[in-house]
Chains A and B, each alone.
Chain A
Amino acid sequence: MELIFFFIMAALSVLSALSVVFAKSPVHSVLSLIVTFFLLSGQYVLLNAQFVAIVNLIVYAGAIMVLFLFVLMLLNLKDEAEPQKSNLVRLSVTISAGMLLLTLMGSLRGVMAIPPPPPQSATVGLVENLGKILFSDFVVPFEIASILFIAAMVGAVLIGKRNKEKDSEPLTTF
């Protein structure tokens, strides 16, 4: 039963990932990527990682992809199709990506020796266990992550601010 679920979700996620790459319009790419993230959350549930599954849904499918969609709508790109690279470039890119896949597959041949999971591993992915790890072993990276977020927020505001002397009418001052 779990195997059937795994294969269905794996096939669908590979298909939607391919559709991210080959979709004509960028909006379709965003929507396919959201489908991929939902299917990956399903995989996380199958792997007993409930916390990661929910955070993946909220952060990726909820926040980041809405940001992408928002910027896409904001830019309002033209309707004509995106110019394609030349056929030679496309062929060589496909071949090199396929060779990367072959290399990854070949390097994964030695991992059969993973020991069977210990009996307590059913609770590994729960919020309680992960919170204990996060706030004992990883407190300093957690706080640094908040600094990173503040820096990203301030940087985004500064970058996105309209250049006054260049392209806007003079501001009405009080």
Chain B
Amino acid sequence: MLNSIQIIPIEYYLVLSSVLFSIGVLGVMIRRNAIVVLMCIELMLNAVNLLLVAFSTYLGDGHGQVFVFFIMVVAAAEATIGLSVLVLIYRNTKGVDIHQLDQLKH
């Protein structure tokens, strides 16, 4: 299985991960549904995970993959809290449009 590392240059993974991260940023800025915004944040976290795994494998060091594990733990906790906050917001405003959520300004 080592030969796949020798065949695929690491730059390919870096390019793929930056493309996925930029798509996540685009989604966070362009969508108005708060649930989709949360999903785009998950996409950005996964792009970083891919980068960490690629470097960990190419350098022969397992610490990066343990970091991926911790990123997944934090992402799971974040999704739980974020979604329950969204349910609460939906109960109060009957919607998850982020343009209605600027009440802290007024």
A88 at interface by CB-CB < 8 Å: no
Q: A20-B43, A104-B21, A148-B74 are contacts. A159–B26 as well, Cβ < 8 Å?
A: no
Q: Which of B1-54 contact A (CB under 8 A)?
A: 1-8, 10-16, 18-27, 29-33, 35-36, 38-40, 42-43, 46, 49-50, 53-54
A64 nearest CB across to chain B (Å): 5
B68-106, CB under 8 A of A: which get 1 and which 0? 111011111101110111111011000111010000000
Q: Count A-B contacts at CB 8 Å.
A: 237
- How many A residues touch B, CB cutoff 8 Å? 84
B residues in contact with A133, CB < 8 Å:
62-63, 66
Query: Contacts of A29 on B, CB cut-off 8 Å?
Result: 36, 39
Could you tell me if A68 and B83 are in contact, using CB atoms closer than 8 angstroms? yes
Cα distance A78–B73 in the bound complex, in angstroms: 32
B42-A64 in contact (CB<8A): yes
Chain B residues whose C-beta falls within 8 Å of the C-beta of A8 in the assembled complex: none
Asked if residues B30 and A21 are in contact (CB atoms below 8 Å), the reply is yes
A83 touches B8 (CB 8 A): no
Interface residues on B, range: 35 or more
Bound-state Cα–Cα, A3 to B86, Å: 42
A26 CB contacts on chain B under 8 angstroms: 33, 35-36
Most interface-central of A6, A97, A119, A120 (chain B CB within 10 A): A97
CA distance A47 to B55 in the complex (A): 10
Q: Smallest distance from the beta carbon of B24 to chain A beta carbons, Å?
A: 7
A40 and B49 in contact (CB under 8 A), knowing A10-B12, A68-B35, A93-B29? yes
Residues of chain A contacted by B14 (CB below 8 angstroms): 108, 111
* A145 pairs with B73, CB closer than 8 A: yes
- Least distance between B47 CB and chain A CB atoms (Å): 9
The B-contacting residues of A in range 32-47, CB under 8 angstroms, are: 33, 36-37, 40, 43-44, 46-47
B residues neighboring A (CB under 8 Å): 1-8, 10-16, 18-27, 29-33, 35-36, 38-40, 42-43, 46, 49-50, 53-54, 56-63, 65-66, 68-70, 72-77, 79-81, 83-88, 90-91, 95-97, 99
**Interface of A toward B, CB cutoff 8 Å:** 2-3, 6, 10, 13-14, 17-18, 20-21, 26, 29-30, 33, 36-37, 40, 43-44, 46-49, 51-52, 55-56, 59-60, 63-64, 67-68, 71-72, 74-75, 77, 82-85, 90, 93-94, 96-98, 100-101, 104-105, 108, 111-112, 114-122, 124-125, 129-130, 133-134, 137-138, 141, 145, 148-149, 151-153, 155-156, 159-160, 167
